[in-house]
Amino acid sequence: MGAAQVFAVIIFVVMFLMIVLDKIERQYVTLGCGLLTIVVVFAVCMHSGEVILDTLAFKDFATAQFWYQVTESESKGINWATIIFIAGMMVMVEGMAKAGFFRWLCLRIAYLVKCKTIPIFITFMIMSALLSMFIDSITVIMFLAAVTIELAQLLKFNPVPMILSEIFCANLGGSATMCGDPPNIIVGTSLGFSFFDFLSNTGIAAGISLVFCVFYFLLVFRKDLISKSADGDVDMSKLPKPKDAVKSKKDFIISSVIFGIAVILLVTHSMTHLTVATIGLFIALITLITAGKGAIELIKKVDYKTILFFIGLFIVVSGLEETGILVFIADFIGNISGGNAMIMTAIILWISALASAFVDNIPFAATMVPVIQSLSASTGMNLTTLAWSLSIGTDIGGSATPIGASANVVGTSVAAKNGYPIGWGKYCAKLAPATLIVLAISTVYLFVRYL
């Protein structure tokens, strides 16, 4: 093993440990480690200015492919498409939140089902999954959990089962599309997949799993869901009205239209050939233009820490990629599976799930994309099957523990702050089995459909 490889591995391991230990904010960790990768691995050990330029990937912006993509292509280094898309969607989501869209939607649905506990439970789960297909799960859960607690206090039911189910469905919904969960955006933009590719592959697995999950959660939570007040005579006059959630009718209409445009652009991007980077940028621009004076406030609310975290992360992972470490890992997986497609698929799915249950699934996915590329190249295994295994594994595995995915942290935190603390025991008792069920369904799905 050469010096470059040793340093690349050390930097990567230190970065991962520091993210887990959470002593220093994670964006500083990845940026610092990214800088070390450039200086120590690329400049000092490899003496390669070319690798540095490839990793920084600034030239991507100047290529037509980056904005308008007719043929599928794979990217290297910093995945700017992911970063621009996530930033663009953040701007849009901030605009929607400011206009009161999410709260309005939650209350509207609660009214549609006449504020009855079981129907709210089912519709909120489905809404959580559907919204998470297009919007980051943190935002979805932040609003859903808050409204769930508000309704629970008024309707006298325990909100914890509902919040746990919403968290799970948000992660499940996120796995269904290219823009639903950051690992999918990374997989999609790195390997040149479209929104529709995800929807027709991981989306079907998520859809089947959702049906099972609704029944599972109804079964395990049925006792907790029985309202203290008779379900039949809910006094809806005490409940907040959906229209009160709308802070400005004009902003509400504009943000709803922009969201609609975003969904249409994403669904049709394989036909229009617009890349997710173009869509992200376009959506951000129209949100900012229509926001007028409020644009600065929206820009300030963008989560820059996450954007910086991504930039540093991609550089560190490039260190492993450029030094050939990820090929070692791919060869190792290829060897232990003996070239058997079923074993390889299962390893990628279950190892991704296990890792994502305990560590941030974004660095994991970013690292695994080049691994599955190498694995496919060396064994002849179909890359798309491995990609779906990786996506489903990272997205679903994260649901198993309270720290596995961002939605879990936000949901349990909102619950705790409102007087409903959810510890590891309570969380894992219900969601770890649900995760195993979905992983089992996904394994069967992958085997039957692709192998």
Dist. CA 320–CA 327, nearest whole Å: 9
Widest pairwise Cα distance in the chain: 75
Dist. CA 184–CA 198, nearest whole Å: 8
Helix axis angle, 424-450 to 383-397, nearest 10°: 160
As measured in angstroms, the least distance from the Cβ of 217 to another protein is 20
Dist. CA 97–CA 116, nearest whole Å: 26
Give the residue with the Cβ less far from another protein, 21 or 271: 21
Q: Write b or e for each residue in 199-223: b if 16 or more Cβ atoms lie within 10 A of its Cβ, otherwise e.
A: bebbbebbeebbeebbebbbebbee
- Judged by CB under 8 A, the residue of 38, 138, 262, 315 near another protein is 138
Per rule CB under 8 A, is residue 424 in the interface with another protein? yes
Per rule CB under 8 A, is residue 423 in the interface with another protein? yes
| Contact call for residues 197 and 149 (beta carbons, < 8 A) | no
Dist. CA 419–CA 374, nearest whole Å: 49
As measured in angstroms, the least distance from the Cβ of 306 to another protein is 8
Give the residue with the Cβ less far from another protein, 201 or 412: 412
As measured in angstroms, the least distance from the Cβ of 428 to another protein is 11
Per rule CB under 8 A, is residue 403 in the interface with another protein? yes
Per rule CB under 8 A, is residue 260 in the interface with another protein? no
**CA–CA–CA angle 393, 397, 400 (5° rounding):** 165
Per rule CB under 8 A, is residue 412 in the interface with another protein? yes
Per rule CB under 8 A, is residue 102 in the interface with another protein? no
Per rule CB under 8 A, is residue 409 in the interface with another protein? yes
| Residues 194-233 as x/- pattern, contact with another protein by CB under 8 A | ----------------------------------------
Three-state secondary structure call for residue 68: strand
Per rule CB under 8 A, is residue 408 in the interface with another protein? yes
Per rule CB under 8 A, is residue 425 in the interface with another protein? no
Find the binding residues for another protein in span 338-397 (CB under 8 A): 360
Per rule CB under 8 A, is residue 13 in the interface with another protein? no
As measured in angstroms, the least distance from the Cβ of 402 to another protein is 4
Pick the closest to residue 121 from 221, 232, 208 (CA basis).
221
DSSP state of 157: -
* Residues near another protein, by CB under 8 A: 20-23, 138, 303, 305-306, 360, 402-403, 406, 408-410, 412-414, 416-417, 419-424
